[in-house]
Chains A and B, each alone.
Chain A
Amino acid sequence: MIDERYFKPIPLISSLSSTTQGMIAERGFLRELQAGETLVIEGMPAEYAYFLVSGSVRVIRMRRDGRMQVLARFGPGAPLNIISLLNQKKVNRASIETLTTTALLVLSASDFDYLLSHAPDFSKALLGIFAERIATITDLAAGLSLYSVRARLAKFLIELADKPDAASGWTQDEIAAHIGTVRDVVGRLLREFEAEGLIKRSRQQISLIDREGLFNQIEHEDR
């Protein structure tokens, strides 16, 4: 039986009725992993749904040339592996690896199905998550068509710097995945931004120096 205090960091679950939370507490279990451990392996049967209580993970796929591609990064509250479970093939669509020490609430595929059938508020909350993810993909698609990679990177750096709790631990691969490009382009643009005096790089730190100059990268394309 899971202590319901673990539900607090997971808005999808903490917003549910006490009856549904009781079902989850009864059926779910907690799992803790260290940084760098693999939670889900691409291509293997999808057996569990995960909800991130604490820590962060990255979603990755191996490309045909054998190189790894980062698809996304998630923090506390995120549901994971849901689409794989809902897909008829029930196969993990990507691998998930922990970036930090991570605690997860876990539901088996059968318990996940049970909740979908017996807890309408659970199903509705999941639909809300899907709506958010579709909106994110739509925004990304709009960004891809409306803004250059340069503008998207400037926008993302500003967003990160404005949210100190989310601004740490990003690799160039992860930034590239988030703005819809590849690492090489992110690396080149960061060098250009630095040469233009917009940012300063110092080992792990990217300091944004010229606020107006960075906003100009975006506004220039809004005109």
Chain B
Amino acid sequence: MTKTDQPIINYDRCDLCGKCVAACPVNALHMTADGPVFNQPLTCTYCTICEDICPQGAIRAPLTVRWAS
């Protein structure tokens, strides 16, 4: 699993509200003084709840659409 397999956090936008950390159903996020980090990246299921709940739009969970081979 690569670093980009987790949602992307824009720390310039983050206001440290902690809603993403509280909402993460698998506790993959942990709040630090600089903002949330994926301290359990392997447990992240890419459910995108963190992206949805962030009021600042600081978290992006980009998707790629393709035809199944």
Contacts and interface: CB of A to CB of B under 8 A. Distances in A.
Contact of A68 (B8, B48, B56, B65): B56
Contact of B63 (A35, A36, A206): A206
A5 interface: no
Q: Is the interface of A mostly helix, strand, loop or mixed?
A: mixed
Contacts, number: 79
A207 B66 contact: yes
Interface string A20-44: 0000000000000001111000000
A200 to B, nearest CB: 7
B67 A208 contact: yes
Nearest to B56: A68
Contacts of A170: 62-65
A36 B5 contact: no
A160 interface: yes
A183 to B, nearest CB: 6
A168 B12 CA distance: 23
Interface string B43-69: 001101001100111001111111110
Interface residues of A, number: 34
Given A200-B68, A207-B68, A209-B68, A171 B62 contact: yes
B51 to A, nearest CB: 6
Interface in B10-62: 10, 12-13, 45-46, 48, 51-52, 55-57, 60-62
Contacts of B10: 35-36
A37 B12 contact: yes
A168 B64 contact: yes
A208 B63 CA distance: 13
Interface in A54-112: 60, 66-68, 70, 99
Interface pairs A-B: 3 shortest CB-CB: A68-B57, A36-B10, A160-B65
Interface of B: 5, 8, 10, 12-13, 45-46, 48, 51-52, 55-57, 60-68
